[in-house]
Amino acid sequence: MEHVISGVAKFQKEVFPGKKATFKKLATGQNPEVLFITCADSRIDPNLVTQTEPGDLFICRNAGNIVPPHSNQTGGMTASIEYAVAALGVRHIVICGHTDCGAMKGALAPEKLGALPHVREWLGHCRCATEVLREKHGELGEQHLDELIRENVLQQIQHLRTHPAVAAKLATKQVQLHGWVYDIAKGNVHCYDPVSETFIEMQEAYAEQKLAAG
């Protein structure tokens, strides 16, 4: 904890003065372009990976980068998504999974989560992803972890579409959905390409987009 407290002091003395104008502007409001939904894993730093500044990303984090399907029961994710889309007017929503995800390991073996009943219940929102893999492979094991991480991103995007605020903006082409997987060891980001129906390296994906745009 000591290094965290000293970090605050360093921020106040060394970092804040150089960004004073930015923080003065942010003090009275925000206008993020992107809603970034990712895992609560301590190894993931959205601003570091995307090299963005305060105010650029509206970030939501939870175990497994999960988006519960819309229901009449209000939850933190539901309210945050509604606020980001309907009030802040974000233009892009990214769901970013990551390698070595502990939540996905739990989804592969829920029987091992007996001492973590709330975690087990939360990971029920990943059932679509595990059922897709089970249909393909039968019994699942650790060898399916990377595939589950990718499939979970796709299924959470499907859940996103059930939220009224998101559905409305999608219908009027005011928001775009993106599926990413961040490789912790390599620093790579793979994004889902709907044309090839696979995850490809981001640089390759954007090169293809520019080529298609002419």
Concatenate the DSSP letters of all residues of 165-207 into one string.
HHHHHHHTT--EEEEEEE-TTT--EEEEETTTTEEEEHHHHHH
Q: Which residues pair with 95 in a beta bridge?
A: 37, 179
CB atoms within 10 A of CB 75: 12
Torsion (CA) 132, 136, 140, 146 in degrees, nearest 10: -70
Q: State yes or no: pLDDT of 211 exceeds 70.
A: no
Q: Taking 80 as the threshold, does the pLDDT of residue 80 lie above it?
A: yes
Encoding tokens for residue 146? Answer: 């990377």
Confidence band, pLDDT 50/70/90 cuts, at residue 72: confident
Using the structure block, give the residue that is written with the tokens 């903006």: 169
pLDDT at 73: 86
Question: Is the alpha carbon torsion for 159, 181, 119, 92 positive or negative?
Answer: negative
What HEC string does 3-51 produce?
HHHHHHHHHHHHHHHHHHHHHHHHCCCCCCCEEEEEECCCCCCHHHHHC
The residue whose two tokens read 């005011």 is 174
Q: 3-class secondary structure for 52-115?
A: CCCCCEEEEEECCCCCCCCCCCCCHHHHHHHHHHHHCCCCEEEEEEECCCHHHHHHHCHHHCCC
144 in a labelled binding site: no
CB 188 within 8 A of CB 205: no
Residue 60 is labelled as binding a ligand: no
Q: What is the pTM of this model?
A: 0.93
> Strand pairing partners for 198?
193
> What does the pLDDT average to over 46-71?
97
Using pLDDT thresholds of 50, 70 and 90, give the confidence band for residue 205.
low
* Residue (of 45, 57, 64) closest to 149 by Cα position: 64
Note the pLDDT tens digit of each residue in 159-204.
999 999 999 999 999 999 999 999 999 999 999 999 899 999 987 7
Q: Is the pLDDT of residue 141 over 80?
A: yes
- CATH classification (class only), 34-43+50-57+85-214: alpha beta
Tens of pLDDT, residues 18-49: 999 999 999 999 999 999 999 999 999 999 99
Let me know: does 78 contact 92? Beta carbons within 8 Å.
no
Q: Is 101 annotated as a binding residue?
A: yes
| Residue 178 known to bind ligand | no
